Structure 1
Amino acid sequence: MIVLDKLRPLPIPRHCLLYNLGCVPYETAWAWQRSLLAARLAHPDLEDLLILLEHPPVYTLGTGSSLAHLKFQREESNYSLFRTERGGEVTYHCPGQLVGYPILNLQSYRPDLHWYLRQLEAVLIETLAHYGLRGERIPGLTGVWVEGVKVAAIGIKVKRWITIHGFALNVCPDLAGFREIVPCGIGDRPVGSLAQFIPEITVAAVRVQVAQAFGQVFGCQIQPQGGTIPIP
């Protein structure tokens, strides 16, 4: 007869500190991420973080992005343009778009980039499901769509399995800035927002759902933090 060890402790979920911030300049948040990455490269046992925020209007390019996807002259733009170390093509950030920057050590989850991208998509799909929206993936592309409209983009950087950059979910932004680019290099599919389907939706409400979905999908314990991020 096999006797089960009922006293064996269940695995303890990994903690993930949640920082809910307001509208932060892109270059400030980018500097935070690089500092947090450097600290975790030196000390891989540091805690994970999920940073949720918005940005003032700004365009960002992935490390290999083509300038052909810009519909304006860089020197004539009213908004800043940054080339970053993330993957993916050009995108646009502005208020009303919820941006998430997970700083995770994938060695504690699963050291697999494709798995991580699909997990981030799953977080967003779970968030949309809370509002009765069906989030969809498109084979060969990264991101989340609703009824053929792209509502979320993902671009990441991983170094020694520590993640930076992340996802951007269009909740209720002014989408005019997207007309000045070929978003994510995809010219034949429209970009939209959740407000097209749920006019009364707010970023504040969606923040809560994204954090909950993140904890569920990654199997981690979300711990909301007050104040600002302790930058090393």
Structure 2
Amino acid sequence: MDLPPEWSQAHAPPQLQVCSLGEVPYCSAWEWQRQRQQGMAAGDRPDGLLLLSHPPVYTLGQGADAGFLKFDPETATYEVHRVERGGEVTYHGPGQWVGYPILNLRRHRQDLHWYLRQLEQVLIETLAAFGLQGDRIPGLTGVWVNGAKLGAIGIRATQWITWHGFALNVCPDLAAFDRIVPCGIGDRPVGSMAQSIPDISMEAVRPELLRAFSRVFGLEARIVELDEWLASAHKLGVKR
């Protein structure tokens, strides 16, 4: 992407602080997003990306239709949360990279439609690194390969600072999606990279995903520990 005029080409791209973890409970990551978003809103912090996976969990967007759940959340043993993002119900679980970008869109473009298309482009470029053609479908958000949805996106922006984000199906248990109408789309299947590349691994995909994200948003990724990623929240006295 073209860098904004105020970013001189003579200097390094702006920094992206990346905290890349393993499997993290959904509620922990949810709170870490909130802390980072609040810290960025109160001070000048670099853009950040939290990249991880979750134990099995279902989440519904702010106005999502609970009718898209094929089970009763009051009696089921599945973990279910209604959260602030847009979009309908989705599933997160092992074998899926989940990315939570905490970006200040004032540094990029104050346009949520543009931001959604950029996240789609990140997933498309990641898939391309493995020889897979990711497609957009007009009127829908996400990325498809051979008609199956591999990349889901659901975002929130507060004061032009983003949270929530995207999920890329690398090698998850696709049967978990049978318990819902994924993203409220009942006539299109969900797929994974493993359907085309049986020996694909999460670790093989991570560097390509980070490269694509950095390239699309014009940022230089730097891996940091969680404490540094949350440093802005600590300064504000936000409890972890």
Q: TM-score range by the shorter chain?
A: over 0.9
Kindly, what percent of the aligned residue pairs are identical?
A: 58
Change (3 A) 1:153 1:73: same
Aligned pair 1:50/2:61, yes or no? no
Report if aligned partners of 2:57, 2:92 keep a CA contact under 8 Å in 1: yes
Q: After TM superposition, where is structure 1 displaced by more than 3 Å over at least 4 residues in a row?
A: 226-229
Aligned pair 1:202/2:204, yes or no? no
Q: How many residues align?
A: 224
Partner of 1:121: 120
Partner of 1:15: 15
Partner of 1:85: 84
Which ranges of structure 1 fall in alignment gaps of 5 or more residues?
Answer: 1-7
Once the two structures are superposed, residues 118-176 of structure 1 have per-residue CA deviations (whole angstroms, 9 ceiling, x without a partner) of: 00000000000000000000000000000000001000000111000000000000111
Separation of aligned partners in 1, 2:144 and 2:25: 27
Report if aligned partners of 2:32, 2:230 keep a CA contact under 8 Å in 1: no
Separation of aligned partners in 2, 1:211 and 1:77: 36
RMSD of equivalent CA atoms:
1.3
Kindly provide the amino acid, as one letter, of the partner of residue 24 in structure 2. V
**Greater Rg by CA:** 1
Aligned with 1:214: secondary structure?
helix
Separation of aligned partners in 2, 1:124 and 1:29: 21
Aligned pair 1:39/2:39, yes or no? yes
Partner of 2:215: 216
Which ranges of structure 2 fall in alignment gaps of 5 or more residues?
Answer: 1-7, 234-240
Aligned with 1:166: secondary structure?
strand
Partner of 2:237: none
Report if aligned partners of 2:58, 2:91 keep a CA contact under 8 Å in 1: yes
Aligned with 2:187: secondary structure?
coil
Kindly provide the amino acid, as one letter, of the partner of residue 95 in structure 1. P
Task: State the shift of 1:227 in Å.
Answer: 5.4
Aligned with 1:111: secondary structure?
coil
Separation of aligned partners in 2, 1:77 and 1:169: 25
Task: State the shift of 1:230 in Å.
Answer: 2.7
Partner of 1:189: 188
Kindly provide the amino acid, as one letter, of the partner of residue 100 in structure 2. Y
Kindly provide the amino acid, as one letter, of the partner of residue 114 in structure 2. W
Aligned with 1:74: secondary structure?
coil
Partner of 2:30: 30
Query: What are the equivalent positions in structure 2 for 1:65-144 lying under 5 Å apart?
Result: 65-144=64-143
Aligned with 2:74: secondary structure?
helix
Separation of aligned partners in 2, 1:12 and 1:160: 26
